[in-house]
Chains A and B, each alone.
Chain A
Amino acid sequence: MIVQGTFTFAGPRATVWELLQNPDVLVKALPGAKRLVRAGEDRYEGLMQVGVGPVTAAEFAVTVSLRDKVPPERYTMEVDSKGTLGFTRGGARVELEALADAVTLMRYTAELQVGGKIASVGQRLLDQVAKLMTRQALDALNNELRARLAGGGSP
């Protein structure tokens, strides 16, 4: 499965970068994320609850490792998640471009292998769910960004 797209953040690149590395922010932004903790240098572990169409939501243990970091421009992620209803493995590339002082363009491409029940039964909704979750996460991050820039911190 390939998920790719672009997203425009309403804030400066350095702040976007900082948010993307902050598990406390990410756990709130990622739909279904229940826990996300730093488990080492550039390594995070967490728990997510995800359902796909007819496959009822179930917990996935998630490990994310960040690689090839070039702050605040780009990094890659290795993602490994597994649960009783399936697994995902793969990588994602994220690039940030400063379009203006307070406008940051994100380009992302994720290539994931999906297995288990979420693949075999949820297949036809998988792409849409992945896109939807990505969009929701990015929107939530953008809101967080706006809130911070407005000086209110976390809403």
Chain B
Amino acid sequence: MTHRLIGKPIRRNEDARLLTGRALFVDDVQVEGMLHVAFLRSQHAHARLKDVDLTAARRRPGVVGVYGAADLGDYGRPGPLLVPPPPIAGLVFNPCTQVPLAKDKVRHVGEPIAMVVAESRYVAEDALEDITVDTEPLPAVVDLEAALVSGAPLVHDHLPSNVAAHVVQRKGDYERARAQAHAVITRRFRYDRGASAAIENRAVAARWDSRAEELTVWDTTQAPIPIRNGLARLFGLLETQVRVVAPFVGGGFGPKIMMFYPEEVLVPWAALKLGRPVKWTEDRQENFSATTQERGQLHDAEIAVSGDGRILGVRDVFLHDTGAYDPYGLTVPINSQCTLLGPYDIPSYYSEFTAIFTNKTIVTPVRGAGRQHGVFVIERLLDFAARELGLDRVEIRRRNLLRPEQFPHNHEIIFQDSAPLVYDSGNYEPALDEALRIIDYKGFVRDEQPRLRAAGRHVGIGVVCYVEGTGIGPYEGARVTVEPSGRVRVATGVGTQGQGHFTVFAQIVAEVLGVDVEQVHVITGDTREFHWGTGTFASRGAVVAGSACHAAALAVREKVLELASRHLEAAREDLELAGGRVRVRGAPDSAIPLGELALQANPLRGAVRPGTEPGLEATAYFGPDRGSTANGVHALLVEVDPETALVEIKRYVVVHDCGRVINPMLVDGQIHGGVAHGIGNAFYEQLVYDTGGQLLNASFMDYLLPTATDVPHIETAHRETPSPLNPVGAKGVGEAGAIPTGAAFAQAVEDALADHGVEITEIPLSPNRLFELLAQAEQART
């Protein structure tokens, strides 16, 4: 089937609004009489709250309300468990979710203690200084291993230890594989991640309309429908009485999924209580401690290989830092556990993790959501195994890749969506070959690298493979309507944070209905426009919501054809939809515009036939049985200056297979952004906590984001192995760029420093850290 619009680099429908500053963001919301909020946050990582005195703050002119935990009553209950753990035998999970305002104890720096509502943010911030908090500081739980020592301070006093969860998943018999192995390589790996650092911080505005009895909440959420449902439940309102609008959002990356953050439930509460509109916009300082993050894991891993480099089995035991609470369940560590298997045929696997409460900001998915940790471990193990066996590192990967005939491939363990980890489709070796060809692996290793090394330069190459579980259920929906103007409206429940939904969904619908992409008006993230859905996360927007758009468009197309065949007195098989019209093949004069049909479908006189519906409109839903598995290869060239430990990325190649590509330009954009995130993770970004649980680099002066000068030109190539799990054949791509970057970077830097004997088992690196590793290697040699 040839496509007119699918697969074309169509310009984005939304850009005119964004580039001319007409797009609405939450902070743009201005309502007459609006009040502003500031939060008093804990300075301590761990402390008992003895007294919170709000009297002086309440007396300050311009202050409308000041609230502590005691003022919330029943509303101060712990928030919902957002993602229940999957059904894994023997799984231990201790759910501890946060309360809106801390009551007896604070468990991380930045945890809200009190809320001030005032006529302006200035007054609200000033009033924070009127509040006195009497605390009894407690020793903080910071280090993962120390957290498990008997007698360690407890983050949650009602639990016997700091263990948030313990999970074991097994495939095959690792011990037997180990006994038969030619070599077993064992290492300890540290993989730390950072803040999501979206350009727009979180923001919430709320208004209670007492005449309409409707609560409107503007929220930078990725999942407006779950937030709507939750708020309705909390306030005892009908779901239709709560409208949550996620307008344009300047980057989601995970921490804006349906978190039910304290601020997210308190701002609407204040609007209801005070009967006035209320707004809060997070500042960057707050973002560093109050918006969820990803952080470290500590892996003790080993790989058992045969003499010819076949993987016989992998064993991995790791600790995962979940922060002070675990509202998002086990998604992040289970992603690490599952993604470790990568594109490889691994017959036996033992994976055990312990998630640990610490006195740090809550950990929830950030672009990649734990997948990079798993990729780092397996890719580094393969590098060390190749060295041990005297094999080329590309060759050891090639020998272990799953072959096309092995799909669908069941890995026999449970994924984050509670379904078995089954890869739907894939063709891995050609992707590897394409990456090698683009970066000229052979030529580099054979000629270029020796030549440059002889000239005293330290250049290295990295090549790593990965898979990414994407496009998970449960479902999304869409409503497609042809208006009398001939324009088409598409409404779906997911939120949008810059992905290009207004274009991708429009392309899918325009393809089916034979209209121009610009004629399709997409609405996302407004619960009044579409009632059902889940949200934007897990690289699922195009896959799941896109498939729902496709199904709804097909249903509208059926209505169009039915009506047009009567109008044009032609058989349905002879009709085609093109140029915004239905026409009879071979009879160009016999045609009717879609808008005209839409008018006819909604007559003012006469009768709508029994058994039919008025209008050219349809709603459809799509829910995949399980996620689709995207894959790819990252290859890069680096040059390292061993004296300054600075690393320059010379080339960066991404070969990616996300099934059917709907818009290659947008896929490129997703990959570029992801790689930038990945480079930040590899060499720049790290949240540095001291032993007291204080974040020491909570500003962009000290928390280094990669800038335009640090991110190289990224060369991309697309491969298309369609997914059999959805009608579009699409797989997700939103997180792909960020997932293997750390592993690729480590391999390339290690290769560049081969003569120094540096071994890299941790990410992020930094010039400082790399300098230390160089010094250690130097010491070990002398």
Interface residues of A (CB under 8 A from B): 54, 82, 84, 86-87, 89, 113-117, 119-121, 123-124
Contact across chains for A116 and B285 when beta carbons are under 8 A apart = no
Q: How far is the CA of A54 from the CA of B698 in the complex (A)?
A: 12
A residues near B129, Cβ cutoff 8 Å: 84
Least Cβ distance of A90 to chain B in Å?
10
Q: Quick check: is B109 within 8 A (CB to CB) of the other chain? A: yes
19 further A-B pairs in the complex, CB-CB below 8 A; given A113-B694, A121-B702:
A54-B699, A54-B701, A82-B43, A84-B129, A86-B43, A87-B44, A113-B692, A115-B43, A115-B44, A115-B694, A117-B43, A119-B690, A119-B694, A120-B288, A120-B289, A120-B695, A121-B699, A121-B701, A124-B702
Partner of A120, one of B44, B109, B128, B137: B109
Least Cβ distance of B657 to chain A in Å?
42
Q: Whose C-beta in chain B lies nearest to the C-beta of A61?
A: B132
Partner of B699, one of A82, A86, A114, A120: A120
The SS class assigned to the A binding surface is mixed
Q: Quick check: is B449 within 8 A (CB to CB) of the other chain? A: no
Q: Quick check: is B697 within 8 A (CB to CB) of the other chain? A: yes
Can you show 17 pairs from A to B with CB atoms below 8 A apart?
A: A82-B43, A115-B692, A116-B43, A116-B694, A117-B43, A119-B690, A119-B694, A119-B695, A120-B109, A120-B288, A120-B694, A120-B695, A120-B699, A121-B698, A121-B699, A121-B702, A123-B696
Taking A54-B701, A89-B137, A119-B690 as contacts, is the C-beta distance between A84 and B128 under 8 angstroms? yes
Q: How far is the CA of A54 from the CA of B137 in the complex (A)?
A: 26
B residues near A87, Cβ cutoff 8 Å: 43-44
Contact across chains for A120 and B697 when beta carbons are under 8 A apart = yes
Q: How far is the CA of A132 from the CA of B774 in the complex (A)?
A: 34
Q: How far is the CA of A150 from the CA of B630 in the complex (A)?
A: 82
Chain B 168-199 interface 0/1 with A at a Cβ cutoff of 8 Å (1 = within): 00000000000000000000000000000000
Contact across chains for B109 and A115 when beta carbons are under 8 A apart = yes
Q: Whose C-beta in chain B lies nearest to the C-beta of A59?
A: B129
Q: Whose C-beta in chain A lies nearest to the C-beta of B695?
A: A120
B residues near A123, Cβ cutoff 8 Å: 696-697, 702
Contact across chains for A121 and B109 when beta carbons are under 8 A apart = no
A-B contact count (CB 8 A): 47
A residues near B695, Cβ cutoff 8 Å: 119-120
Least Cβ distance of A113 to chain B in Å?
5
Q: How far is the CA of A113 from the CA of B696 in the complex (A)?
A: 12
Q: How far is the CA of A84 from the CA of B701 in the complex (A)?
A: 21
Taking A89-B137, A123-B702 as contacts, is the C-beta distance between A117 and B44 under 8 angstroms? no
Least Cβ distance of B94 to chain A in Å?
27
Candidate in B289, B692, B695, B696 with the most chain A CB atoms within 10 angstroms: B696
Q: Whose C-beta in chain A lies nearest to the C-beta of B130?
A: A84
A residues near B128, Cβ cutoff 8 Å: 84
Shortest beta-carbon contacts, A-B, top 7: A120-B698, A116-B43, A123-B696, A119-B694, A84-B129, A121-B699, A115-B43
A residues near B701, Cβ cutoff 8 Å: 54, 121, 124
Q: How far is the CA of A94 from the CA of B288 in the complex (A)?
A: 37
Least Cβ distance of B121 to chain A in Å?
15
A residues near B694, Cβ cutoff 8 Å: 113-116, 119-120
Candidate in B43, B289, B690, B695 with the most chain A CB atoms within 10 angstroms: B43
A residues near B288, Cβ cutoff 8 Å: 120
Q: How far is the CA of A87 from the CA of B440 in the complex (A)?
A: 56
Least Cβ distance of B333 to chain A in Å?
27
Contact across chains for B285 and A121 when beta carbons are under 8 A apart = yes
Taking A84-B129, A115-B43 as contacts, is the C-beta distance between A120 and B285 under 8 angstroms? yes
Least Cβ distance of A118 to chain B in Å?
9
Partner of A117, one of B45, B137, B285, B692: B285
Least Cβ distance of A106 to chain B in Å?
28
Q: How far is the CA of A86 from the CA of B695 in the complex (A)?
A: 12
A residues near B137, Cβ cutoff 8 Å: 89
Q: Whose C-beta in chain B lies nearest to the C-beta of A80?
A: B137
Contact across chains for A120 and B696 when beta carbons are under 8 A apart = yes
Least Cβ distance of A134 to chain B in Å?
20
Q: Whose C-beta in chain A lies nearest to the C-beta of B125?
A: A84
Candidate in A86, A115, A117, A120 with the most chain B CB atoms within 10 angstroms: A120
Q: How far is the CA of A113 from the CA of B690 in the complex (A)?
A: 9
Q: How far is the CA of A72 from the CA of B223 in the complex (A)?
A: 67
